[in-house]
Chain A
Amino acid sequence: MPAIPFLAATRRIAASKIVAALAVATLFAGCIAAAQSPGELDYSRTRSSEHGIYRGTIIVSGDSIPTGRLQSWTLHLETADGAPVDVATVSVDGGMPQHGHGLPTKPQVKLALGNGNHLVEGMKFNMGGWWVVKFHVNSTAGNDSLVFNLSL
């Protein structure tokens, strides 16, 4: 028997608490290590619109989309059955879902280039990471949105 039973019991409780705290700390460290950026997203440059009315392809100059400077894209727009869409009202928005902010510019789609191609002006991305760009399309075929994921 310890000389002071109360102190011995206190030590046992303290040791148990240390074990529990260390176990929690280990688990927490494991959780941090497992944190991931979105990897299961579809980053393809050709996408169907949310309600399937359109198929859209973004065409950028060069292999990668640069950050930090204004750029123009071409948006190729066609109906689900492959007919090019030349007459349409297209607006653009987007942003970084993980950061909660939108695009740094207000891009415009005002010029139809023919064969379903539309000039997208004023695109800019001011940082790397996961971006979402949405084209809201309105034509005689209907209203629908094309959503593109970008990893910059």
Chain B
Amino acid sequence: MFIFALMRLKPWSRAALLGVVVALILMFTTNLHAVSRKRTRWSSKERVLLRSLTLKSLGAIPRDPSNRVADDSTAASFGQLLFFDARLSSTGTVSCATCHMAEKNFQDGRPVGRGVGEGSRRTMPIAGTSRSPWLFWDGRADSQWEQALGPLENPVEHGGDRTQYARLIAVEYRTRYESIFGRLPSLGTLPFRAGPVGDTVRAAAWARIPGARRDEISRVYANIGKAIAAYERRIDFAPARFDRYVEAELASDTLSSPSLFTPDEEAGLRLFIGKASCVNCHNGGLFSDGHFHNTGVAQSRATALPDSGRTSGVLKALAGEFSCTSRYSDATAQDCAELRFAVAEGPELVRAYKPPSLRNVVDRAPYMHAGQLATLDRVLEHYSSAPRAPLGRSELKPLHLSWSERRQIIAFLGTLTGPLTAPPGFLAAPANHTVE
């Protein structure tokens, strides 16, 4: 049929068609050749980039000068007990581990977290957060210990308060606490339920406590956060297949060495660092630049409240009662450079959120800050089409990825799945985690 149609074309049309077909065949074979050649050979620039994405590039966990017990193993063990203790809640049913589930990479697989009530943001995983200068999706905390304190008195997360928690420490953990942080203050005449956050009754009770006593209780509260941070800090990523692939690629310069990736995974990696530009924001060993980006994600259905992202997050961080520069911090002002040089205003902050690490991402649906996108297919569809932001301006430009390219990127993301690493016994609830 085709030959019949071809024979009926005028000679110039036949010649033009032949020329185009030859050109296409040449392009196709050249690309095929390039792909096969590149399969195990990355350019020197690409090799530098690949190396920067491995865990080895991260080096040691950075110190946290705001938390003097950050590297104290006794504090870390105490923090593990607190992390799994559901008595740190208004109902006695919610612990940190309720949403940060150890068996699910310390997240819960739900669109938004559910504590004593329903939250408005997706539970973030914990591994690797010791390396992040900003915590939470909007970066409203500048340390792991400040982050840990937010949910504890949030009315829909743990829902408890400061005098309740101080009493729990005094009754259940006094010896352990005092061995790490020194003597607990007297709690005798303090109200059982009082704190600056939450309902008006507890806030009023808190306001009636003399300032110096409030400060003592807040210090106990801060120390709870510091112990939990000492525990969380030790939960990190272990090498994934991607890390082993890069190590092998960098060690080998021969075409004959077998690849640790399938052709789809390798093509996905090439798209990730090339055409799809994923590596712009998902860079470094954690596959996150730790900064904040408006990517045009739709408003969450979980809440009717407006969510301005980093716009409000940075203001909360700067005013944070438990920030690096606060009275409860162990840092000097010079240590708090991220806070000091933070961008505090501007249109780029509107609905900008922090890209979480892509390590173990395929096991962590749903995606985005309120679980708006149920699957990685939907995520790739989002990045490919780059919809307008509901507020502010999206940084995305349409990628126009084919179905095949999306599949390849997802295949590559699967190579980032790997185990977590922590001291023995830290990746599960402690054997006896309710009594001292």
Contact = CB atoms under 8 A, between A and B. Distances in A.
Chain A bound to chain B: yes
Given A16-B13, A99-B395, A104-B291, A70 B338 contact: yes
Interface stretch (A47-55, A126-134, A142-150): A126-134
A15 B9 contact: yes
Interface string B289-302: 11100000000000
Given A68-B289, A128-B49, A23 B342 contact: no
Interface string A8-21: 10011011101100
Nearest to A67: B283
A126 B291 contact: yes
A15 B13 contact: yes
10 contacts: A16-B13, A18-B17, A22-B20, A22-B21, A70-B337, A106-B343, A108-B341, A122-B341, A126-B291, A128-B280
A107 B348 CA distance: 17
A121 interface: yes
A68 B284 contact: yes
A124 interface: yes
Interface string A49-71: 00000000000000000011010
Interface string B1-45: 000011011000100110011011001000000000000000000
Nearest to B345: A106
Interface size class of B (residues with CB under 8 A): 20 to 34
A11 B9 CA distance: 9
A19 B346 contact: no
B8 A11 contact: yes
Interface in B73-104: none
Given A105-B343, A128-B279, A128-B280, 18 more contacts: A11-B8, A18-B17, A19-B17, A22-B21, A23-B20, A26-B23, A26-B24, A29-B27, A100-B395, A102-B348, A103-B343, A104-B343, A107-B341, A122-B337, A122-B340, A124-B341, A127-B280, A128-B283
Contacts of B20: 19, 22-23, 26
A129 B274 CA distance: 12
B16 A102 contact: no
B342 A106 contact: yes
When A and B form their complex, which 9 residue pairs have the shortest distance between CB atoms, in order from nearest? A122-B341, A126-B289, A105-B341, A126-B291, A22-B20, A104-B291, A127-B280, A19-B17, A106-B343
B313 to A, nearest CB: 14
Contacts of B8: 8, 11-12, 15
Given A26-B23, A68-B289, A100-B395, A19 B13 contact: yes
A19 B21 CA distance: 9
Contacts of B49: 128
Nearest to B12: A19
A16 to B, nearest CB: 6
B156 interface: no
A68 B337 CA distance: 14
B281 interface: yes
Given A12-B9, A70-B337, A106 B290 contact: no
A15 B395 contact: no
A108 B27 CA distance: 51
Interface in B223-261: none
Contacts of A105: 341-343
A42 to B, nearest CB: 20
Contacts of A102: 343, 346, 348
Interface string B321-338: 000000000000000011
Given A15-B13, A15-B17, A106 B283 contact: no
B285 to A, nearest CB: 9
A94 B32 CA distance: 41
B184 interface: no
A104 B352 CA distance: 12
Nearest to B282: A127
A4 to B, nearest CB: 13
A126 B395 CA distance: 14
B414 to A, nearest CB: 24
B399 interface: no
B116 interface: no
Contacts of A23: 16, 20
Contact of A15 (B5, B21, B24, B337): B5
